[in-house]
Amino acid sequence: MKYDLLHTEIYQTPCPECKAISFPITNENLSNYFHGIKMNCPKCNANLDWWSLLLRHFDWEVPSYTYAIVGGFTTSLRIYMKVGEIFTLNLEEIGIPKESKILQISYTPNGNGLFPIELHGNTPARHYIPNIINLYGRPMGEPSGETPVAVQINWAEKLNDNQIWENIINAVESFTVKDYNSCIIPSNVSVESTLHNIMTKYFSPFSAKDRVEDFLNNGATYSHQLNLLLPLIAHSNSFPKMPDNIRGNLNKLRGYRNSLAHKGKTDKQIDKKTVSELICSAAFGLSYLNLLEEKINGNLKKTDDNLPASPNRNNPNG
């Protein structure tokens, strides 16, 4: 397998004015957005609104930019193929972990001679991209001894304890193939499950586990958690409240989810603009919840560290 590995990266978001500088999609930048910290392009001084910056990625319909919002990597390389020969592309050999989810691959010949064709068995899998791909060099254009082919692979890490994040990745994957209805439930599940887990941990010191579960499942359900308990918990931990536009979109997302779950359809067709805002809000909502959880855990540690020593403290037999 002859190839040149170019780079692996998470695509950054470019300045909307000068386009000359790009900014990484990181928790630090998202935290600045939630805390209302002003960001400006260091070259053209344009004001950077993080929500507007990332929402643009859905308009571009370029998978590498869309997946970047949910932590998707892009690996770029150049392979060298010959007409009539089979090139075996082993993704693990080029540094993509075996358990990763492969989201999309593109092949672009950088010269004449051939066009790469994926080979498969007599029963091809339509919704799964394997880690080992066989490419056949089909003749095309002027003959050439060897043709360089640019390969771009979008992928996401697949962790055993990261099922919630995989839901939002599935939503973006559905978006890229314009299956908008299939974006709704996984987007909602990713936020609702994360919020429920935070609430469970937050209230567990105050009551028995079964009472907390009953409270969250039958009393303060998702809508109450999102619109009442979450702002209260954020305030008590000196953390900014979730931006109203994101919380409002998450409420809309919940409504669409309920329609699909109970009626099998939505009252009106979900269009690209709507689903873009819903998925983007889910991604922002997840980041907000993760940052809030970090703040809660940090506050708990500070409280624990400041507790006075006692004969029984840190003594498992006390």
Would you state the pLDDT for residue 316? 37
| Calpha distance 287→35 (Å, rounded) | 13
pLDDT, tens digit (0-9, with 9 covering 90-100), for 49-81: 999 999 999 999 899 999 999 999 999 999 999
> Is residue 262 left, alpha or beta, with left meaning phi > 0 and alpha meaning psi from -120 to 50?
alpha
| Calpha distance 242→229 (Å, rounded) | 12
- 174 half-sphere exposure, CB direction, 13 A CA radius: 19
Would you state the pLDDT for residue 315? 42
Would you state the pLDDT for residue 121? 83
Would you state the pLDDT for residue 80? 95
pLDDT, tens digit (0-9, with 9 covering 90-100), for 9-37: 999 999 999 999 999 999 999 999 999 99
This prediction's pTM: 0.88
Low-confidence ranges of the chain (pLDDT < 70): 159-163, 303-318
Would you state the pLDDT for residue 317? 42
Would you state the pLDDT for residue 127? 78
Would you state the pLDDT for residue 306? 59
Would you state the pLDDT for residue 303? 65
- The burial class, CB within 10 Å (0-12 / 13-18 / 19+), for 299 is middle
> Is residue 314 left, alpha or beta, with left meaning phi > 0 and alpha meaning psi from -120 to 50?
left
